Structure 1
Amino acid sequence: MEMRVVSEEIEKLRDEMWNVLMGLVKIPAISPDSGGEGEYDKAQKLLEIIKGWPFDKIERYDAPDERAKNGVRPNILAY
């Protein structure tokens, strides 16, 4: 694929990418080691966003951590 075509596709998605990024950075995801609640809320928002994207599979793996919100530190794999 030509670089020009790739650049055009990226430009078409610019506003959407910006809005997704701004929505995600607003949500705190601070490690319990640093006094935060962890990544639960940000992971939930990310799952909500990528549900509509053309991934074949989206998997969530929760690492147990009683210090974190809902007792887990979520990890998302989308492919």
Structure 2
Amino acid sequence: MSKVSLVETTDQRPTFLSRLGVALFATLIVLVGAVVSFALVLLASAIVSFIFSVLIGLATFALLAGIVVVGAVKIGIIWQDLFKDK
């Protein structure tokens, strides 16, 4: 039995345009990857900065609440001393 190849084999080199097309496609893939990476870095930095701003806001609120509580306690002590029955 003789072997018959269903695929035609050629020893031709790729043309300049086909190599250029592959190179441009690879360049496009690299550029898209760089843009996507940059966008993900921007998104991550935005998320981190949002979390930090929320934490700073909560810390500021807690600090101000503590100042108000300490001030109210001091005013209460002074008020009690002023109107203490002797």
Q: Please indicate the TM-score interval, normalised by the length of the shorter structure.
A: under 0.3
**TM-score (ref. length: structure 2):** 0.22
**Normalization by structure 1: what TM-score?**
0.23
Q: Name which one, 1 or 2, has greater alpha-carbon Rg.
A: 2
Q: Which has the higher contact order (CA 8 A, sep 6+)?
A: 1
